[in-house]
Amino acid sequence: MTGWEVLLDKAVWLTAQLAAVTTLCLLVIATPIAWWLSRGRSLFKDVIAAIVALPIVLPPTVLGFYLLVALGPNSPLMVLLQPFGVRTLAFSFTGLVIGSIIYSLPFAVQPIRNAFEAMGKRPLEAAAMLGASPLDRFFTVALPLARRGFITAALLVFAHTVGEFGVVLMIGGAIPGKTQVISIRIFELVEQLDYTSAHRLAGGLMVFAFVVLLALLMIDRSQGRKVDA
Amino acid sequence: MIDVRLHGARGAFVLNAVFSVPADGITVVRGSSGSGKTSLLRAIAGLEHMIGHVRINSEPWQDGKVFVPPHRRHAGYVFQEASLFAHLDVRGNLDYARKRAPASADFDGVVADLDIARLLDRSVHDLSGGERQRVAVARALMATPKLLLMDEPLSSLDRAARDGILPLIRRLGQKLPVLYVTHDPTEAKALADRVLRMDNGQVTPENLSNGLEGLSQVEIERLALAALRSGLSPRPE
């Protein structure tokens, strides 16, 4: 494989697609959860926060196993979807997206929640006193002020999805072009003793991970400089 | 009239405020820190929920089951810290208020009154403390409020900045009713048309030597007229 062939490799393309779709879905899903968790505390909220954080501590194979059961044929969830002509989501791209969303949920919720908590309630109160309704002040004050939290969440989710292995292997199998992502492709290349190709993909991932982490650190630094107005 | 009867508890602290003052000029609420001044102001704004009523010129903001949410009260609020929106520049902050105002504000007039024309295109991060508070007052005015609530707006400023803003606030009192909270006797003296004292959550009108110092010009004239009509001496008991 030459450099261009690496870029055009089906696994690379599929991984990028999966990470992009997962990131977009998660930003939408995580925002209301993060907002709700950031407003006050209660036992119920702690329980939900713990459930959201579960994927951090669970082995990906455990998560993948339950997802495989939930998305497989005749599971209660799939029975609900049968009238729409869906029998199973296991070993499909949609299944991978669902798995990735759950797997990366804490990495999206936490930075956004931190950003909402860091701004405090004062800017929202100021906006209320200027005549902004709750929805209005969420979109015109809370979201823009939490911008860095969203960027951090997007970077973390994208990178985390690119790096996942256990969950995608369990619910996706390794169907080339359909569910075979980079991390699994590398595993197979090594099994076939094709070290040269494995090196190219693995090296690419190393560079990618380094760039993402560097970007996160730089965002963190500029956040530290921010003055309270 | 600004007609307030509010009762609320925050832990061991109990606030009990019953007062009625004319809706004109500057009413200063004076008290030491921890006396409940800020809670009172927040409850009048609707940012905190207490039991009782708040009526501004007989329009109920809170009364029994009625509780008008803060964004529909059209009260201006100037916080102790300017609390400008960090994601907008100075003009953006003013426009945020202007776009949502029930009436159209006199933009140039307010900008001139607070002397912030040269700050309009600046980032809010590049303002001094005094400049920030002037922008915060201007932003509150752009919302064309019926009542301006000010919570120790000068307490974090140095003397020079404070002396620069005091006359501007003094002039505001001639345009709209202001409820001004402070612990500073000098500020109270410089601004007040009348003074309410707050002690341990209780509000009382401040007793001053001749009984007239806490009253506005209009009230003094009204008292004097009434006294003259009934043939009494113009000094109330």
- pLDDT of A6: 57
Q: Which residues of A touch B77 (CB under 8 A)?
A: 125-126, 129
Q: Which residue has the higher pLDDT, B35 or A3?
A: B35
ipTM value: 0.84
- pLDDT of B34: 80
Q: Return the domain boundaries, chain B.
A: 2-206, 213-237
pLDDT digits (tens, 9 = 90+) for B182-214: 999 889 999 999 999 988 888 877 654 455 556
pLDDT digits (tens, 9 = 90+) for A208-224: 989 988 988 888 777 65
- pLDDT of B231: 64
Please name the member of A122, A129, A229 whose beta carbon is closest to the beta carbon of B45: A129
Average pLDDT, chain A: 89
3-state class of B143 per DSSP? coil
Residues of A near B (CB-CB distance < 8 A)? 122-123, 125-134, 136-137, 140-141, 144-145, 147, 226-229
Measured between alpha carbons, how far is B209 from B213 in angstroms, rounded to an integer?
A: 8
**Pair of tokens at residue B47:** 């940012």
Q: Which residue, among B220, B69, B105, B222, has the nearest Cα to A125 in the 3D structure? A: B69
Q: Which residue has the higher pLDDT, B34 or B43?
A: B43
Q: Which residues of A touch B70 (CB under 8 A)?
A: 125, 128-129
Q: Give me the mean pLDDT over the A5-27 stretch.
A: 86
- Output Rg (C-alpha) for chain A, integer angstroms: 20
Q: Which residue has the higher pLDDT, A63 or A4?
A: A63
Measured between alpha carbons, how far is B161 from A130 in angstroms, rounded to an integer?
A: 25
User: What are the angstrom distances between the C-alpha of B10 and each of A202, B40, B151, B182?
Assistant: 59, 12, 19, 20
CATH of B2-206, one of 3.40.50.300, 3.40.50.970, 3.40.50.720, 3.20.20.80: 3.40.50.300
pLDDT digits (tens, 9 = 90+) for A147-204: 999 999 999 999 999 989 989 999 888 888 888 899 999 999 999 999 998 999 999 9
| 8 A C-beta contact, residue A72 and residue A90 | yes
Q: Do A131 and B71 touch (CB under 8 A)?
A: yes
Average pLDDT, chain B: 88
| 8 A C-beta contact, residue A45 and residue A62 | no
**Main-chain dihedrals φ then ψ at residue A89, nearest 5 degrees:** -115, 0
- pLDDT of A229: 45
- pLDDT of B209: 44
Q: How many CA atoms lie within 13 A of A210 on its CB side?
A: 6
- pLDDT of B235: 52
Residue A30 has pLDDT above 90, yes or no: yes
Highest mean pLDDT among A203-207, B93-97, B162-166: B93-97
- pLDDT of B214: 60
**Least confident piece of the model among A38-42, A73-77, B113-117, B127-131:** A73-77
Chain A residue nearest residue B45, CA to CA: A129
Residue B3 has pLDDT above 50, yes or no: yes
Q: Which residue, among A126, A120, A137, A140, has the nearest Cα to B79 in the 3D structure? A: A126
Please name the member of A125, A133, A134 whose beta carbon is closest to the beta carbon of B47: A125
Measured between alpha carbons, how far is B190 from B167 in angstroms, rounded to an integer?
A: 8
Q: Which CATH superfamily is domain A3-225 in?
A: MetI-like (1.10.3720.10)
Q: Give me the mean pLDDT over the B153-181 stretch.
A: 92
Residue B58 has pLDDT above 80, yes or no: yes
Q: Which residue, among B54, B32, B53, has the nearest Cα to B202 in the 3D structure? A: B32
pLDDT digits (tens, 9 = 90+) for A111-133: 999 999 999 999 999 999 999 99
Alpha helices in chain B (DSSP H): 37-45, 90-100, 107-113, 129-142, 159-172, 185-191, 217-229
Q: Which residue has the higher pLDDT, B149 or A228?
A: B149
The three-state (H, E, C) secondary structure of chain A, written as one string: CCHHHHHHCHHHHHHHHHHHHHHHHHHHHHHHHHHHHHCCCCHHHHHHHHHHHHHHHCCHHHHHHHHHHHHCCCCHHHHHHHHHCCCCCCCCHHHHHHHHHHHHHHHHHHHHHHHHHHHCCHHHHHHHHCCCCHHHHHHHHHHHHCHHHHHHHHHHHHHHHHHCCHHHHHHHCCCCCCCCCHHHHHHHHHHCCCHHHHHHHHHHHHHHHHHHHHHHHHHHHHHHHCCCC
B76 in contact with chain A, both atoms CB, cutoff 8 A = yes
Q: How many CA atoms lie within 13 A of A40 on its CB side?
A: 3
Chain B, 216-235: which have a CB under 8 Å from a chain A CB?
none
- pLDDT of A176: 83
How many CB atoms neighbour CB B108 within 10 A? 9
- pLDDT of A227: 42
Q: Return the domain boundaries, chain A.
A: 3-225
- pLDDT of A217: 87
Q: Do A130 and B70 touch (CB under 8 A)?
A: no
